[in-house]
Amino acid sequence: MSKNMQLATVGGGCFWCTEAVFQEVKGVEKVVSGYAGGNAPGRPTYREICSGLTGHAEVIQITFDANVISYADILVIFMTTHDPTTLNRQGADVGTQYRSVIFYHNKEQKEIAATVVTELAPYFDSKIVTEISEIPIFYEAEDYHQNYYRNNKSQGYCSYVITPKLTKLRKLHADKLR
């Protein structure tokens, strides 16, 4: 089977969580944690992102095989494994760097994102506040942020925040997992 590799870029709070989720999805070839959507000049650092002053969001860039999983399915998994109804917040993580965002790479992705958000809206008790914007420059995060959950499963944040997200993923999307 030939591969039809595409990119998806999303932010749903801490990138450690979203990275761990998508590393379990069939058809996902690579997940890179990073930053996008800010207005500060130059390559931002994690410390600058955490200040909330750069405007960047913590995001992941997913390389996936569209012959195995669709962009729409990527977005459904994304929207149902974080809270897309809280503005600039996921759990205890607060600030614009933790906003819910879909960065589209082309017109088709923009249309699919809008459709997925509209179709999922009735399933949430509050209004979805996920931003849908064109992908700006994507900056890869520092090496120690890559594969964070895989490398730090016993760390407190991983045990208390990420592991429950993975349990939810397995319950809601078992048919899409490796």
**Which residues are CB-contacts of 121 (< 8 A; sequence separation ≥ 6)?**
127, 128
Strand 93-94 relative to strand 89-90, pairing: antiparallel
Among 14, 17, 50, 158, the active-site one is 14
Residues 11 and 89 sit within 8 Å (Cβ to Cβ): no
Residues 11 and 101 sit within 8 Å (Cβ to Cβ): yes
Strand partners, 31: 62
Q: In which order are the strands placed within the sheet that holds 57-65? A: 131-134, 100-104, 5-12, 57-65, 28-36, 139-140
Give residue for tokens 């459709």: 115
Residue 88 tokens, joined: 């600039």
Is 50 one of the catalytic residues? Answer: no
As annotated, the active-site residues are 14
